Amino acid sequence: MIHDKLDINWYQGDNVVEIARELLGNVLCTNIGGQQTKGRIVETEAYAGTNDKACHANGQRKTRRNEIMFAAGGHAYVYLCYGIHHLFNVVTNIEGRADAVLIRAVEPLDGIEAMMHRRGVREINRQLTAGPGMLTAAMGIKTLHNATRLDGDTIWIEEGETSENQQVISTTRIGVSYAREDALKPWRFYIKENPWVSKY
């Protein structure tokens, strides 16, 4: 079965919410530290640039941290949250439009041994990748991978199985209550009844 890497142009559409939904079922791949890992994306959230109070780039606020969000779609935006967790986003839209999709959970496919080793767990269970900080740890993604191009050979996304049977649920985003009315936007997407979707 051939899986094609998503083309850089794929990321540059102007509807970040739609892209977040379409990312479900595709496969996030990393080749870091000599270990290749792959995981099917089962949960995402859209962050809609300057009009979204939950987005780091809201109100055209451009800083050193979120600078990469203003670049053209197809880059990785990785940053450290709570001093502990690395969060991985896919930058979308064209240069100057700071949209991004947060990858919140994946289902492990390849390199599971490496993931378990990085996470320090012995069994394959939700502890591996069912959460935005967990999946980056499992797949070896660190802040040094910020601004990585997703058409390279370190981090990329492949087309997944055709997902006719997957039912997509949309609901509110998590951990953004500070964003007031924008916290109510139903911009979190996940695959129904998939056991790897994050808790809370």
- Residues at the site binding DNA, with contacts judged by CB under 7 A: 45, 47, 54-56, 61, 63-66, 69, 77, 79-85, 87, 89, 100, 102, 119, 127, 131-134, 143, 174-176, 178, 198, 200
Chain centroid to Cα 98, Å, comes to 15
Angle at 73 between CA 110 and CA 97, to 5 degrees: 145
Between 3 and 172, whose beta carbon lies closer to DNA?
172
Compare residues 30 and 89 and give the one whose CB is closer to DNA.
89
Smallest distance from the beta carbon of 52 to DNA, in angstroms? 9
Helix (H, G, I), strand (E, B) or coil at 145: helix
Question: Nearest distance from residue 92's CB to DNA, in Å?
Answer: 11
- As measured in angstroms, the least distance from the Cβ of 154 to DNA is 19
In DSSP notation, 74-132 reads: SBEEEEEETTTEEEEEEEESSTT--EEEEEEEEEEEE-HHHHHHHHT-SS-STTTTSSH
Q: Which of 50, 66, 17 is nearest to 189 (CA)?
A: 17
Comparison of 42 and 102: residue with beta carbon closer to DNA: 102
Residue with smaller CB distance to DNA, 3 or 169: 169
Q: Which is nearer to DNA, 25 or 132 (CB)?
A: 132
Query: Rounded to the nearest whole angstrom, what is the least distance from the CB of residue 164 to DNA in the complex?
Result: 28
**In Å, how far are 30, 111, 158, 192 from 114, measured between CA atoms?**
11, 5, 20, 27
Q: How far is the CB of 145 from DNA (least distance, A)?
A: 13
Which secondary-structure segment (H or E) carries 137?
helix 132-139
